Amino acid sequence: MSPEIEKYNEKTNRFDLQTLLDTSRLLIESHDFDFILNNLLLISMGKLMVNRAAVLWYDSRKTTYSAIKKKGRFTLPDPLQVRRSIFKSRTTIFCSDHEELHHLSDHGITLLIAIQNSEQHLGLLALGPRVNDQPISPEEIKILESFVFMSGIAISNSELVSELRETNRKLDYKVQELFTLFDLSKAFNATVDREQIKRLFKFALLGQLFIRRFFLIITRNSRPVVVTQNGIGSDLNDSQMSALFSLKKNIVKVDDDLLKQLPFLADMQISLLLMFNNNGGDPAIMGLGNRINGMDFEQTDFNFLISLGSLFLMSIQKTYFLEDQIEKQRLEEELHIARTIQQKLFPDRAPEIPGLQIAAKNVPSYQVGGDYYDLIRDNDGNLTMAIADVTGKGVPASLLMANLQSVLHILHPFDIGMVEATGQINSLIYQNTPSDKLISSSWGRFDHKKRTLRFVNAGHNPPLLIRKGSEPVQLSEGGVLLGAMPTITPYSDMEISLQKEDLLILYTDGVTEAMNHLEEEYGEERLINCVKALRDDHPEAILENIVADIKNYSGEHIGDDLTLIVCKVT
C-alpha cells in the first residue's frame, strides 16, 4: 500500500474516532429519546451511505420487534419475528449470512446490529444496502457497533431520567395532595357549618381531581342518607342506597355487569364507587363520575380520595354529634322543667284527716313519667285519695296525667257518686286522647265519721287492705282502664268498714315490677311481707322502708316511677 493511501486511512480513522467521541458526548448529554434515535439513524446512514434504516424495538412480553423509527421508503412486517437468541454470541449479522433473516432482504434490509447496554437487549438497528454497492469493511462495523452501543447507553440514560422525572412528578403531586389535605383539615376543623364543609369537599374534588359529578351516602339513625351530591340529576331512593351498601369491595369500578345490577348508576354517569368503614362504625359510600380532563383514576387518586372522604366524614359527623348534643341538652332541660312542673302537681304534704295517718310519695325515674297520686280533703274532714298510671312515659304521659288531675279536682266539689264520676272521666279521656294512651286508676273516699272507704278500681293494681289476723284483701271492684272504651256498662264500686290498725296500700306497677339483676320482679308477695314486718310503724316509716327495700332489690336502678300511698287507721 502506497504511503499516500496509508496516510489517508490514518486521517480517516482519526476523523472517525473524533466523530465517535463527539457524537457519544452529544448522545449521553441528551435525555431526549426521540433525539437519540434520530441521530442513531442519520449518523449510521451517513457513515455507511445507505438510503434506508430503522430502529426495531424489542417487546419482552411478546418476544417480537416493532419499527418505532424509520428513514427511507420501505415497509417492514409489524410485529417482526426475529429470534433474540441469534444475537447472544454476536452483535452484528448480515441478513444474507443467516437463514432466518433472508426474508428481511425482501424488505431491503441487509444488516442488523443489536442495540443493547451492559444489562439488557433493547432492539435492533436495521440498515439497507449501500448506495455505491461497496461492501462494509470490518473497521466500519467496529465503528458502527461502538456507536450503537453508546446509543444504547444513552437510551438507557434517557429512560432512567424519564423515570426520575416521572417519580419526581408523582412525588410533587403527592406533596401537593398532602398540603391540600392539611389545608382542608384546618378548614374543616375551623367550622361547624355543615354547608361550608360540603362546599369545601366539592371544591377539593373539582380542583384536585377534576371531578364534578359525585354523591356521598352515610348511615344515620340506622338508615342511609345522602349527605352531599353534585351533578347526578335525580335523588337516590332508599332501595338504591341499600343496593349500593350491599357491595362487598372497598373500591369498585363500574362496569357493564354492575350496570345491569344497578342501572341507575348509568343515568347518574357514575364510574367509581368507594366504600368507607368509617372507623369501624356505620359504613359510608362515595360515588364518582369520570374526571372532566378525561384521565383515568390511578392508585394515588384512590389514596387521596379515601383520605379526603375520611376527613370529610369525620367533619360531618362532628357537626351531627354537636347537633345531637345540643338537642340532647335541650330535651334534658325540657324534661327537667316538665319533671319540676309534674312534681308540683303532687300534694305538698298529706292532709290531716281525723282517724287516719297518711304518707304518700313519688320516686321519679330518670325521665318524666305518667304516675299520679292525689290526696284531697273536703270541708267535712273526709279524704279523697287517688292513684293512677298513664301508659308510656315522657311529656305526653305527663300531660295526660295533668289532665286527669284537673278533671278530678273539677268533679270533687260536686255531689257526684263515684260510679258516675268514674264513667264521666272515662268518657272524657276516651273522646279526647289517642287510642294508645290509657290510664289505670284506683280511687276512694274515706268517711272519717263512719270509718268507711268507698272505692272504684279502673284496671289498676288493686289496693291492698292489710288487717291484723287476716289475709290481705285486694280492692279490685270497678271496671276497665280509663280511655279503653266508651262508658257503656257503668263502673261498680264497693264500700268497706275499716278497723283500728288497718293498713291501706295504694301503689303503681313501678313498685311490684322493679327488677333485680336477674330480671326478676319485686312482686306483690314481697311487698306484702315488707308491710307486715313494719305494720306497727308510722306510715311514713313504712313507706320509706318499702322504697329502700325496692332500691336494694333492684341495685338502685329504678326503671319506672315508684308511687305509693300508705294509710293507717287510728
Q: Tell me how crowded residue 552 is: count the other CB atoms within 10 A of its CB.
A: 10
Task: Tell me the mean pLDDT in the region 235-248.
Answer: 89
Burial of 472 per CB tally in 10 Å (0-12, 13-18, 19+): middle
Alpha-carbon distances, residue 492 vs 408, 422, 445, 451, 495 (angstroms): 18, 9, 14, 20, 11
Cross-strand partners of 111: 94, 127
Instruction: Tell me the average pLDDT across 258-267.
Output: 92
Q: For the ranges 9-18, 41-50, 558-567, which has the lowest average pLDDT?
A: 9-18
Average pLDDT estimate for 334-357: 82
pLDDT at site 15: 40
Q: What is the pLDDT of residue 302?
A: 87
- Which alpha helices (DSSP H) does 76-235 contain, by range? 102-105, 138-189, 194-209
- Cβ count within 10 A of residue 219: 16
pLDDT (tens digit, 9 = 90+) per residue, 103-154?
888 888 999 999 988 778 899 999 999 888 888 888 888 888 888 888 888 8
pLDDT at residue 335 tops 50? yes
Least-confidence region, from 3-7, 58-62, 233-237, 439-443? 3-7
- The pLDDT of 421-444, averaged and rounded, is 88
What is the band of 465 on the pLDDT scale with cuts at 50, 70, 90?
very high
Instruction: Tell me the percentage of the chain whose pLDDT exceeds 70.
Output: 91
Considering the chain, what percentage of its residues have pLDDT values greater than 90? Answer: 34
Instruction: Please report the pLDDT score of residue 413 as a whole number.
Output: 81
Q: Is the pLDDT of residue 425 over 80?
A: yes
Across 203-217, 257-271, 339-353, least confident range:
339-353
Supply the pLDDT for residue 444: 94
Q: Is the pLDDT of residue 5 over 80?
A: no
**What's the pTM?**
0.52
State the greatest distance between any 2 C-alpha atoms of the chain, in Å, as a whole number: 163
CA 484 to chain centre: 44
CA pseudo-torsion sign 23, 27, 29, 30: positive
Report the pLDDT value the prediction gives residue 7, as an integer from 0 to 100.
45
Neighbours of 431 (CB within 10 A): 9
* pLDDT tens-digit readout, 379-417: 899 999 999 988 776 667 777 787 788 888 888 887 788
pLDDT for 545 equals 95
What confidence score (pLDDT) does residue 100 get?
84
The answer on pLDDT for 14 being more than 70 is: no
* 200-209, 262-271, 397-406, 498-507: segment of lowest average pLDDT: 397-406
- Tell me what pLDDT residue 83 has: 86
In this predicted structure, the answer to whether residue 359 has a pLDDT above a threshold of 90 is yes
Q: What is the mean pLDDT of residues 490-512?
A: 94
- Could you tell me which residue, 9 or 292, shows the higher pLDDT? 292
Whether pLDDT at 540 is above 50: yes
3-state secondary structure of 400: helix
Q: Are 456 and 479 in contact (CB under 8 A)?
A: yes
Residue labelled with grid coordinates 416493532? 66
Identify which of 336, 338, 363, 388 has the alpha carbon closest to the alpha carbon of residue 558: 363
Q: How far apart are CA 490 and CA 352, in angstroms?
A: 32
How much is the average pLDDT of 290-309?
A: 86
Q: What is the pLDDT of residue 480?
A: 92
Tell me the residue ranges of DSSP E strands in 178-325: 214-220, 223-230, 251-253, 270-276, 284-289
* Highest-confidence segment of 287-301, 330-344, 369-383, 539-553: 539-553
pLDDT given for residue 183 in this prediction: 78
**Which set of grid coordinates corresponds to residue 200?**
369545601
Q: What is the b/e burial string over 558-567, where b = at least 16 CB atoms within 10 angstroms of the residue's CB?
A: bebbbbbbbb
Alpha-carbon distance 570 to 568, whole Å?
6
Domains delineated in the chain: 3-161 (3.30.450.40), 191-321 (3.30.450.40), 346-569 (3.60.40.10)
Q: Which residue has the higher pLDDT, 519 or 495?
A: 495
Q: Is the pLDDT of residue 24 over 70?
A: no
Provide CB contacts within 8 A for 310, sequence distance 6+: 276
